[in-house]
Structure 1
Amino acid sequence: MQISVVIPLLNEEESLLELHDWIVSVMQSNRYLYEIIFIDDGSTDHSWKVIKNLSSKNTAVKGIRFQKNYGKSQALDAGFQMAQGNVVITMDADLQDNPEEIPELYDLIIDKKLDLVSGWKKKRYDNIITKNIPSKLFNAAARKTSGLQLHDFNCGLKAYRNEVIKTVKVSGEMHRYIPVLAKNAGFNNIDEKVVQHQARKYGETKFGMERFINGFLDLITISFLSKFGKRPMHFFGLWGTFMFLFGTTSAFYIGAYKLYKLYNGIKTILVTDNPWFYIALTSMILGTLLFLAGFLGELIIKTKSDEKHYTIKEKLNL
């Protein structure tokens, strides 16, 4: 199979039929062997009914229905596990991503032997204050932190070599940083392509301003994990040892200075009246805790097993 189109969705019943017909038209005109995988992330409308109807008429349509709303990352992960195409295309279900971009994305992966091509919505039809400006700030921070010179990390329209999506595990809300996860996994042939962004035709966006706050927090997380995810002791152990030695040295100095004054008959205060005593004690305790955190992190990494963080309710044609 040449192409798998993975489409996560939540309450998009109005757009699914039009999106399906558009994708099929592109596939047939280019004579691609394809599959379309819809992942219903706990929709409360008739999205799943529409997907079932599409599947009954087109065997290339496959569906996964979650028990409840788990989030876009989990939906993408489920779709990635099922995808069989040599090239995997992801797009949103709201018709803001243009299926006409699929042939060029496919050619970039095949002809240029790229691992990942990320869409760049250079011209956007979103609200400038609530989406465009925060998005630019978010992408600038992501470029600075990750080293990847992409303009639109969170664009839903992306193309992957199958090996990439089978290697990268997407969880939490890390779908924004799949290019970074791919780079950390050793897939360095990453590029971007300017893609057409279309105004939303049906419904309303499922994301608010909080996604940018969460995005920056996730950026900190992924930056830390990319450096110390497999060796937490290198971070926690280093700082824990430093703080413990600082506290121990300070406590030794306080005690020695106290004895020196007592030996020479110099008036002195109680050790517990010295503020440095509490600084030293706090440093020793924090140092011990940080060291233990690193040690426990190493144990967890060595013993953890892969777990799926979602429950599938139904499948179609899988």
Structure 2
Amino acid sequence: MAADLPLPPAAALALSFVIPVYGSEKVLPELVSRLQAVLDTLPAVRGSYEVIFVCDRSPDRSWHVIQQLSAQYPWVRGILLRMNAGQHNALMAGFAQARGAIVMTMDDDLQHAPSDIPALLDELASGRDVVYARFKNRKHASWKIAGSRLNDMVAGYLMQKPKGLYLSPFRAMRAEIVRDILRYRGPYVYVDGLLLSVTRNIGTVDVEHHDRFAGDSGYSLRKSISLWLKMATSFSIVPLRLTSFAGLFLAGLGFLLAILLIIQKFTIDKMPIGWSSLIVTILIIGGAQLVALGMLGEYLGRVLLTLNSRPQYVIGDSIGLLAADDQNHKDL
């Protein structure tokens, strides 16, 4: 098992960017150029920032491009994961190495404009622990927008997310908040859930959402469902309670029907042949039982993998980071 990168000394830099990378070899040079153009104009962070690209085992030449950019820009660093771990797990790999007093995250496709960085930093400076970018108009497919709205409603119910807070990948947070969420060692990571578990001092900034600079998104429907399951089962027991309530409802309904059938037997004295209704009832109750068992199995499976110390990510290579001899490695 690979060792986890330790948390370096806090506030070694003013600002750290952690950006997961997947299928973005054509975007990265332009992204780095725009980041530098914005960050060098900010007196508070000029010359004291870093960008950590976490290559989530991208199938293209993204890692090769990151290596070239690191040789060209001393503030560009890279982590190559040995296996694809997912966006949120990749973020944890970058957080573990971030050295900034402020840590920001964004997507690698330039749908999040670097020109909006000052607005997030200004809101964070007002006393917030975390600041999210809230997009006025989203350049995503309809199913993604609908899924995001559903996810927003479910997060509000399961995790008591403040009303009106949009959980976007474009965010800024203080280093102490990052250190708090790095204490989480489970294999199923949902960064927004972790942030909501350590602070509610969260602000938002309205920004524009832009078209993808190049290529196609690697975020499929399957990955979106997987992320939803992480949120639902890793940070709340509400699904278990819902299955309990569903079981109680079906049991009560069955008890009521039993009473009605007894009354019918003594008043009408003629029991109609009810094969169809019987089969429907069996299917409903059997389906509810299977859903409940599946939910329990999902929780138990996650507990088993956590107890077996399944790693959040496995690092295959890195560039521009602290020397291995200067790190105190700790297994996940």
> What do residues 195-239 of structure 1 show as CA deviations (whole Å, max 9, x unaligned)?
3555555x323258x65x975x5797578559x823544221222
Structure 2: how far apart are the matches of 1:133 and 1:279? 35
CA drift of 1:94 comes to 3.2
Q: Contact (CA 8 Å) 2:24, 2:215: kept in 1 or not? A: no
Residue 8 (structure 1) aligns with = 20
The letter for the 1-side match of 2:253 is F
Residue 51 (structure 1) aligns with = 66
Q: Which of residues 130, 144, 159 in structure 1 aligns to 2:172?
A: 159
Paired-residue identity, %: 25
More deviation in 94-103 or 1-10? 94-103
Q: Contact (CA 8 Å) 2:181, 2:198: kept in 1 or not? A: no
| Richer in helix (by share) | 1
Rg bigger for which structure? 1
Residue 230 (structure 1) aligns with = 237
CA drift of 1:312 comes to 2.9
> What do residues 80-106 of structure 1 show as CA deviations (whole Å, max 9, x unaligned)?
333232321112333443334333322
Structure 2: how far apart are the matches of 1:269 and 1:195? 65
Higher relative contact order (CA 8 A, sep 6+): 2
Matches within 5 A, 1:10-159: 10-29=22-41, 30-32=43-45, 33-109=48-124, 111-122=125-136, 126=139, 131=140, 137=146, 141=150, 144-145=153-154, 146=156, 148-150=163-165, 153-154=167-168, 156-159=169-172
Q: Which of residues 177, 198, 217 in structure 2 aligns to 1:206?
A: 217
Partner-residue secondary structure (3-state), 1:3: strand
More deviation in 275-284 or 96-105? 275-284
The letter for the 1-side match of 2:126 is K
Structure 2: how far apart are the matches of 1:287 and 1:198? 43
CA drift of 1:241 comes to 2.8
> What do residues 243-292 of structure 1 show as CA deviations (whole Å, max 9, x unaligned)?
2343355457647866x59xx9x66567xx55554455556545655665
Structure 2: how far apart are the matches of 1:298 and 1:67? 27
Matches within 5 A, 1:249-268: 250-251=257-258, 254=261
Q: Contact (CA 8 Å) 2:54, 2:80: kept in 1 or not? A: yes
Residue 192 (structure 1) aligns with = 204
Q: Contact (CA 8 Å) 1:231, 1:298: kept in 2 or not? A: no
CA drift of 1:38 comes to 0.5
Q: Contact (CA 8 Å) 1:7, 1:90: kept in 2 or not? A: yes
- Aligned residue pair count: 295
Q: Contact (CA 8 Å) 1:41, 1:71: kept in 2 or not? A: yes
Structure 2: how far apart are the matches of 1:41 and 1:238? 40
TM-score w.r.t. structure 1 length?
A: 0.69
> What do residues 2-40 of structure 1 show as CA deviations (whole Å, max 9, x unaligned)?
211011222333443343344345444425232210011
Partner-residue secondary structure (3-state), 2:216: coil
- Structure 1 residues 218 and 163 mapped into 2: Cα distance closer, same or farther (>3 Å)? farther
Answering whether residue 317 of structure 2 is matched by residue 314 of structure 1, we say: yes
Structure 2: segments with no counterpart, 5+ residues: 1-10, 157-161, 323-332
Structure 2: how far apart are the matches of 1:296 and 1:135? 28
Structure 1: how far apart are the matches of 2:287 and 2:144? 37
Q: Contact (CA 8 Å) 2:103, 2:174: kept in 1 or not? A: yes
Residue 240 (structure 1) aligns with = 247
TM-score w.r.t. structure 2 length?
A: 0.66
Q: Contact (CA 8 Å) 1:9, 1:93: kept in 2 or not? A: yes
The letter for the 1-side match of 2:67 is K
Alpha-carbon RMSD: 4.3
